[in-house]
Structure 1
Amino acid sequence: MPGLQLSRDFYTEVVRPLVGAVPHSAALIGAGSEVLAFDTERSTDHGWGPRVVLFAAAGDVGRVREAVERGLPTVFGGYPTVFGGGHGVVVADPGAWLGERLGFDPREGAGVLDWLSAPWQRLAEVTSGEVFHDGLGVLEPVRAALRWYPADLWRYVLAAQWRRLAQEESFPGRCGEVGDGLGSAVLTARLAREVMRLALLMRRRYPPYSKWLGSAFARLSGAAELGDALAGAVAAGDWRERERHLGRAYERVAVLHNRLGLTEPLETSTRAFFERPFQVIGAQRFADALGAAVTDPVVAALPPVGSVDQFADSADLLTRPQGCRAAAGAVLGL
């Protein structure tokens, strides 16, 4: 049984009766493969079972937690209700929980620093899963507000992602030309990752962390040809073949860019990198066009580094939202 269904039944049959008439909201959101529907049979071997995040007003959290802990059965649906060192029911005040997950409380609105310091994985965890009950009227408005970036911030983040391609798109060929096959292969895989993240961002999907990135990309409708091109690039044994497959991938995301209508249409074919024998898409063209289309003066004045996921790659940072906020504030000058 998928974890989402197990947790939905757990709330309906067990948790809700324990809460009684106390106003509350309940959902399966936050950490866990089941929140993003990536759980499989393998997921059940540790830290997996019926789970509910239960929200109550600050003054009610203590008594709700006590009622749940007192009445919670040890097993539900064949799985323990206490696992991973804690209960399958987390009881929390909404503001405290959201602040801990995101680094800010979105009920007070989301500014530029809030958006750009919140890791993609955390944004996905809060906006995915399912709300079982929203008696407090908190979860649905918050999830709707965080579903995707405001238009100018979307352009800004997309521009930063295109810049990541622009910075290295000629390098697999350059490495291959000097006989560095390993370096060429590593750079090709790195560029394939950035194209996957770009495609997800274009389709208004927060790219999850590395374990689930390929799974999330594979779920995009119409991405089969792009996936084939990237797979061909990563599997290729020669830099020219890598370049050919990467070129196919670049041209497909260039076409998708034009379909979004966020800038004037741009030429979608690959071209030579200056006078060198390497074919590139000229990714900086797309970054520049997106940047020029930004009308918000605050966003337009930002350095072109993007969100925290685009300039930081440490799990120890990206799992600490307050640390992300401090880092993003310093890098972005906010």
Structure 2
Amino acid sequence: MVRRFVPGLDLAEAFYAKAVAPLVDVPHAACLLGEGSEVLGFDTARSMDHEWGPRAQIFVSEQHVDAVRARVDDGLPSLFHGFATRWFALASGTEAHHVEVTTFDDWIVATLGLDPRVGMDHADWLGLPQQRLLNVTAGRVFRDDTGELSRVRKSVRWYPAEVWAWMMLSSWHLIGNTEPLRARCIETEDTLGERLLTARLCRLAMELAFLQERRYWPYDKWFGAAFNQLDAAGPLTPSLTTALASDGAVATRAIGEVLTWLGHRHNDIGLGPAVTPRRGPFDVGINDAVRPYDVINAADYIDALRATITDPQLRSLVQVGGIDQLTHADDAIVTHTDWPARLTAQYREALAKPAG
């Protein structure tokens, strides 16, 4: 039987309301959060080929976990709207239902690697992959009797202002470093190198657009789809497309349009002093060397954003960016390793050093 595709969030909400809620007779929260394309709202019929079907999370107090699990195990129908309620679970390697019954305390620590209710310092924020934060803030809540789930989701909706400013100035730093490298490749007729750096600049510009709109970006499969939902997508997509499809002066002009637009957006945000975007020759900063490469005044945006940071340690930290800017935060890092915790420890050590 060919099953008609239903967006996973809609299926989950109906599944909870009609099949799961009648089995849960204690105060609880119900939602579909965590991993999965459907949590981000990007699932399609193709998504149905693995790890997809009726599912939900149910959060109850610790004393009710075992009883609710038993009621769910015994009471779920075998089918819901034509979809099997028990299907292959990658984690266990067996067929099982996918109604996770647990405490919110256990779930939030397992999902983020920390409990935000005990407080988060700058290092915690910088070491958290944005996809983990989306695992909490994306998706849909169906019920929240105590309001705790909603309060925590709100608390991690976006970075604290100073962390946000530092991540944006790190983006400008990365852009400022990459533009002249691309220009040098053009000068030496290294077309392959030029194209690689054009793609990198487009990616960096898109990341900055996410930051400017206070939106976490997802892992690479859905990065472009999520970008298309930004306000910036309309103005920037034509120039990004031209840059990626072109070489030389045409691509340079398109990149300039993108970065100039982001420069004006900096002023619209109002975080830090206004900066007039301008393009001109690249000042190497050594021996008064100036190269005839058309680049944006990225350093001015770095200075403007740094001026908003009052924490002396963060203010003086080398602008490597958060974990997603520093490295590739793919599934191996986000889900299967302790590298986020390791990098958090490194950020914390760096932030503990005397400023300057």
TM category, shorter: over 0.9
**Farther off after superposition, 262-271 or 199-208:** 262-271
The aligned residue for residue 54 of structure 1 is: 58
Provide the C-alpha distance between the structure 1 equivalents of 2:214 and 2:312, rounded to a whole number of angstroms: 23
Provide the C-alpha distance between the structure 2 equivalents of 1:156 and 1:224, rounded to a whole number of angstroms: 26
Provide the C-alpha distance between the structure 1 equivalents of 2:188 and 2:22, rounded to a whole number of angstroms: 69
Structure 1 residue 142: Cα displacement: 0.3
The aligned residue for residue 302 of structure 1 is: 317
| Correspondence 1:1-334 to 2 at 5 A | 1-20=6-25, 22-85=26-89, 86-236=96-246, 238-274=247-283, 275-315=290-330, 316-320=332-336, 322-333=338-349
| Conservation of the 8 A alpha-carbon contact between 2:126 and 2:347 | no
Structure 1 residue 225: Cα displacement: 2.2
| Conservation of the 8 A alpha-carbon contact between 2:323 and 2:329 | no
Deviation sequence 1:69-128 (CA, Å, 0-9, x none): 111122212222223414221112212111111111112232222211111011112111
What percentage of aligned pairs have identical amino acids? Answer: 41
Provide the C-alpha distance between the structure 1 equivalents of 2:105 and 2:29, rounded to a whole number of angstroms: 13
Task: Give the AA of the match of 1:264.
Answer: P
Structure 1 residue 257: Cα displacement: 0.6
Q: What is the aligned residue count? A: 332
| Change in 2 beyond 3 A, CA 1:129/1:314 | closer
Structure 1 residue 233: Cα displacement: 0.5
Deviation sequence 1:125-177 (CA, Å, 0-9, x none): 21111111112322100011111111111111111111111121112221122
- For the residue of structure 1 that corresponds to 2:179, the secondary structure is coil
| Conservation of the 8 A alpha-carbon contact between 2:31 and 2:56 | yes
Task: Give the AA of the match of 2:255.
Answer: L
**Farther off after superposition, 10-19 or 323-332:** 323-332
- For the residue of structure 1 that corresponds to 2:40, the secondary structure is coil
| Change in 2 beyond 3 A, CA 1:283/1:3 | same
Structure 1 residue 222: Cα displacement: 4.5
| Change in 2 beyond 3 A, CA 1:112/1:212 | same
| Conservation of the 8 A alpha-carbon contact between 1:102 and 1:321 | no
Structure 1 residue 300: Cα displacement: 2.4
Provide the C-alpha distance between the structure 1 equivalents of 2:148 and 2:264, rounded to a whole number of angstroms: 39
Provide the C-alpha distance between the structure 1 equivalents of 2:87 and 2:167, rounded to a whole number of angstroms: 38
| Conservation of the 8 A alpha-carbon contact between 2:125 and 2:159 | yes
Deviation sequence 1:4-60 (CA, Å, 0-9, x none): 11110001001111112x121111111111111111122122211111111111222
| Conservation of the 8 A alpha-carbon contact between 1:158 and 1:201 | yes
| Change in 2 beyond 3 A, CA 1:262/1:30 | same
**Farther off after superposition, 79-88 or 65-74:** 79-88
- For the residue of structure 1 that corresponds to 2:39, the secondary structure is coil
- For the residue of structure 2 that corresponds to 1:35, the secondary structure is helix
Provide the C-alpha distance between the structure 2 equivalents of 1:282 and 1:131, rounded to a whole number of angstroms: 43
| Conservation of the 8 A alpha-carbon contact between 1:27 and 1:133 | yes
| Conservation of the 8 A alpha-carbon contact between 1:192 and 1:230 | yes
Provide the C-alpha distance between the structure 2 equivalents of 1:119 and 1:193, rounded to a whole number of angstroms: 17
| Conservation of the 8 A alpha-carbon contact between 2:8 and 2:54 | yes
Task: Give the AA of the match of 2:205.
Answer: V
Please list every run of 5 or more consecutive structure 1 residues that lacks an aligned counterpart in the other structure.
none
RMSD: 1.6
Provide the C-alpha distance between the structure 2 equivalents of 1:4 and 1:116, rounded to a whole number of angstroms: 29
Provide the C-alpha distance between the structure 2 equivalents of 1:29 and 1:50, rounded to a whole number of angstroms: 13
Please list every run of 5 or more consecutive structure 2 residues that lacks an aligned counterpart in the other structure.
1-5, 90-95, 284-289, 352-356
TM-score, with structure 1 as normaliser: 0.94
**Farther off after superposition, 140-149 or 102-111:** 102-111
